[in-house]
Structure formats: structure tokens, C-alpha cells
């Protein structure tokens, strides 16, 4: 069984469109994250949610809006896509920050290409 899954795996879209990426984890974790990996492979945190509540929001354009309907899901909606949004987006999950279990489990990534 896949622990952290993301859909879609690939996303090709036109500039200006709105798109969503979905993430689900079946590990029973309380905390979920979104990371962006650019073409040079640098990986940067975007958002973190703990038990459906936002706890980290790095400097990310407000065109990006995460939504957590329950603690097993963290979706990422992107409005008005720009060329610079092209990247691989990774979802991850972990136990709660206070649990002492800091290992994060990553999804397979969503490769977004904006044309």
C-alpha cells in the first residue's frame, strides 16, 4: 500500500490556468507538508499543516492555497499559473512536531510544467 500518494503524477498546463494537486497519506500522521523542488534539485518547504491547521507558511505567493479537509489529506491549489511555477511538488507527512518522531515520508511527486 502506498503510504503517501499524490495525484496527478504529471501536469502540463497553460499559463494563467488554475490547477490542483492532491495528496493523501495512510500512515495516521498528524502533520503534512508541501515542498517545491526546482530544476536545480533544490527542495524548499512551502506549507505545513498539523491536524488540519496551518503551522508553516513560507514565503509563497498567495496564488498557492493549501487545503486540508482532514488530517489524511492536504491539497494544493494554484491560481493563475506562471512559467516559474514549473517544478516538482512533493507532499510529505510525519508524526506531530512534538512527538519526537521527525522522520518525514514523501510522496512520489507531481511534475508540473507550465507552458
Partner 1 sequence: SQQGEEDPQALSIQEGENATMNCSYKTSINNLQWYRQNSGRGLVHLILIRSNEREKHSGRLRVTLDTSKKSSSLLITASRAADTASYFCATGGNAGNMLTFGGGTRLMVKP
Give the H or E element holding residue 94.
strand 87-94
Question: Shortest Cβ distance from residue 110 to partner 1 (Å)?
Answer: 10
The DSSP line for 23-81 is: EEE-S--SEEEEEEE-TT--EEEEEEEETTEEEEE-S--TTEEEEEEETTEEEEEE-S-
Contacting positions for partner 1 (CB under 8 A): 4, 31, 33, 35, 40-45, 48, 50, 55-56, 90, 92, 94, 97, 102-109
Nearer residue to partner 1 within complex by CB, 45 or 72 = 45
Nearer residue to partner 1 within complex by CB, 15 or 60 = 60
Nearer residue to partner 1 within complex by CB, 86 or 104 = 104
Amino acid at each position: 500500500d502506498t503510504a503517501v500518494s499524490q495525484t496527478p503524477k504529471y501536469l502540463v498546463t497553460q499559463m494563467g490556468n488554475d490547477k490542483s494537486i492532491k495528496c493523501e497519506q495512510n500512515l495516521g500522521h498528524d502533520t503534512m507538508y508541501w515542498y517545491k523542488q526546482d530544476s536545480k534539485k533544490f527542495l524548499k518547504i512551502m506549507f505545513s499543516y498539523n491536524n488540519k491547521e496551518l503551522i508553516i507558511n513560507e514565503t509563497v505567493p498567495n496564488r498557492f492555497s493549501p487545503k486540508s479537509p482532514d488530517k489524511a489529506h492536504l491539497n494544493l491549489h494554484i491560481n493563475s499559473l506562471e512559467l516559474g511555477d514549473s517544478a516538482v511538488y512533493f507532499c510529505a507527512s510525519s508524526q506531530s512536531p512534538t512527538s519526537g518522531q521527525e522522520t518525514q515520508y514523501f510522496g512520489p511527486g507531481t511534475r508540473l510544467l507550465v507552458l
